[in-house]
Structure 1
Amino acid sequence: MRKLITLFLVVLIMTACKTEAKKEVTKEAPQEQETKKENNFPAELTEVFEKHGGLDAWRKARVLKFKVNGQEHTTDLPTRKAVVKGENFSLGYDGKEVWLNPKDSTAAKMNPEFYYNLYFYFYAMPFVLADDGIVYSETAPLEFEGVKYPGLKISYEANVGVSPDDNYYLYFDPNTKQMAWLGYTVTYFSKKPSEQFNIIRYNDWENVNGLLLPKSITWFKKDENGVPLEPARDPIVFEEASITEVPLADDFYSKPKAE
């Protein structure tokens, strides 16, 4: 009888060990899949990220600030909460909804949902092209002044963001792998795919806490084939840029209370 009890206990312990081992494997598998998904970028795009400081440094960052056109833009990078403050207006995103200060007449003329992260996306290139829900594909190179810039087309899965039909075209220097041009479409207002795209030159960069970010960007005119011709306007200049790993208080991104 003692032998039977001993045998039963051995089998019970072995079964428990096997069950525990299965549990451990189950826990580890999703992590491996998640790592694969996060790093599943085209090789060329990975090289561009590395040239600009690397995704590891970008993902460690928490708060990005800069000024443009006299406005202060602040974004919490993991959540994309944001606040834009100008001389006569303020608006932002608190993680649930976009808000604007009801007392500001200037803000009322804007579309806050469209505007609150508009300059952030232009400024945070190329790193925002590592966001979830992106589909990468090949596109023809862009040629300017005798140089052919290889490119990638960036589109979005259905129901990603407020404008999933937007397309971006990233072009980079063939030798340095540094970002050089950005083509983009705007579908927010029409809610329909568009073949009409704008083109921006990125050729003025600065090191911001280890990340290479634009100091200025310039919209260009283009011909009927999409080839850049000449600047369409003066450059947009970004100033007082900073990146920190320390988050701001949640209420910083909240709508101001009415007085």
Structure 2
Amino acid sequence: MKKLLLLVVILSFSCKNEIKKKTIDKDLVAVKKVSFPKELGKVFTKHGGIDTWRKAQILSFNKGEEVHTIDLHSRKTVINHPEYSLGFDGKEVWLQEENKGYYKGNPTFYYNLYFYFYAMPFVLADDGIIYEKVDGITFEGVTYPGYKISYKANIGTSPDDNYIVYYNPKTYQMEWLAYTVTFNSKAPSNRYKIIKYNKWENVNGILLPKEITWFKKDKNGNPTEPAKPATVFTLPLISQGKLADSFFAKPLK
């Protein structure tokens, strides 16, 4: 039901925006031009292209009972669950629970965690990023080349986080993601976790993941076997329609 309401809201805004079609069309083609390493640029192209991604306004997906909705330009976010809602209104992270104490996590850490995993590889084209080619990883006889992504100082809540995207050397489709977590320590780390992107689906011209799996690694950093069951994403939605700022505000009781 929440996903249906979201779709109705987006379509409503889209229809209103048709009145100013010339203005919208002009805005949509004025995408920011950025230079990427050649191989990484091919990865973005394989997944739908940077221009297509930057024309999109709203991304939504389900993870279990959670409905994640993100404004791709402001990064305002809402996560709705039968027992709680949390989000980022552009200034503050908020949490509202049906029963106080039900939500056990850290909203500031969690609100955009799965967005980053879900919006790969395109979030690795954000501002303030440094690219570095690194050694590949090998799994089942295939070696996957990699690019490390780090951030300039004071970018985001965890500027010391690092990511490595590994891609298929023939198709340039993203296959693996290695990442560090520095939110709690606030210090750089060389301890990488690794995720396999098992399945993808085309949603309005953009490849979005259907399923990801955390893997164990050997002493050389190569993935070996699943560490836990796959995380499944459902009901994907990506749209050029906008949502009002009030959509991302903490609900009034």
TM-score where L is the length of structure 2 = 0.85
Q: From the superposition, tell whether residues 106 and 210 of structure 1 become closer, same or farther in structure 2 (CA, over 3 Å).
A: farther
1:191 aligns with 2:189: no
Q: CA deviation at 1:109?
A: 2.2
Residue of structure 2 equivalent to 1:176: 171
Q: CA deviation at 1:102?
A: 5.7
Letter paired with 1:147:
V
Q: From the superposition, tell whether residues 104 and 77 of structure 1 become closer, same or farther in structure 2 (CA, over 3 Å).
A: farther
Residue of structure 2 equivalent to 1:96: 91
Cα displacement string for residues 44-65 of structure 1 (whole angstroms, at most 9, x for unaligned residues): 1110000000011100100000
1:85 aligns with 2:105: no
Q: Would you say the 8 A contact 1:90–1:107 is kept in 2? A: no
TM-score where L is the length of structure 1 = 0.83
Q: Would you say the 8 A contact 2:83–2:98 is kept in 1? A: no
1:158 to 145, 153, 159: 153
Q: Aligned partners of 1:242, 1:156: CA distance in 2, in Å?
A: 28
Residue of structure 2 equivalent to 1:215: 210
Q: Aligned partners of 1:110, 1:173: CA distance in 2, in Å?
A: 35
Q: Does the residue aligned with 1:105 lie in a helix, a strand or coil? A: coil
Relative contact order (alpha carbons < 8 A, sep ≥ 6): 1 or 2 greater? 2
1:70 aligns with 2:65: yes
1:229 to 224, 228, 232: 224
Q: Does the residue aligned with 1:230 lie in a helix, a strand or coil? A: strand
Cα displacement string for residues 236-258 of structure 1 (whole angstroms, at most 9, x for unaligned residues): 0000001010011110000111x
Q: CA deviation at 1:223?
A: 1.2
Letter paired with 2:63:
V
Residue of structure 1 equivalent to 2:3: none
Residue of structure 1 equivalent to 2:4: none
Q: Aligned partners of 1:106, 1:127: CA distance in 2, in Å?
A: 35
List structure 1 runs of 4+ shifted beyond 3 angstroms: none
1:167 to 150, 157, 162: 162
Cα displacement string for residues 110-152 of structure 1 (whole angstroms, at most 9, x for unaligned residues): 2111000110000000000000011000110111111110100
Q: From the superposition, tell whether residues 106 and 57 of structure 1 become closer, same or farther in structure 2 (CA, over 3 Å).
A: farther
Q: Percent identity at matched positions?
A: 58
Q: Does the residue aligned with 2:90 lie in a helix, a strand or coil? A: coil
2:249 to 247, 254, 259: 254
Question: How many residues of Structure 1 are paired with residues of Structure 2 in the alignment?
Answer: 224
- The structure whose Rg is larger is 1
Q: Does the residue aligned with 2:42 lie in a helix, a strand or coil? A: helix
1:45 aligns with 2:43: no
Q: Would you say the 8 A contact 2:68–2:77 is kept in 1? A: yes
Cα displacement string for residues 189-237 of structure 1 (whole angstroms, at most 9, x for unaligned residues): 0111111110000130000111011000010011122110001111100
Q: CA deviation at 1:106?
A: 4.8
Q: Aligned partners of 1:143, 1:155: CA distance in 2, in Å?
A: 22
In structure 1, stretches of 5+ residues that fail to align are: 1-33
Q: Does the residue aligned with 2:234 lie in a helix, a strand or coil? A: strand
1:127 aligns with 2:122: yes
Q: From the superposition, tell whether residues 96 and 164 of structure 1 become closer, same or farther in structure 2 (CA, over 3 Å).
A: same
Q: From the superposition, tell whether residues 252 and 231 of structure 1 become closer, same or farther in structure 2 (CA, over 3 Å).
A: same
Q: Aligned partners of 1:108, 1:179: CA distance in 2, in Å?
A: 33
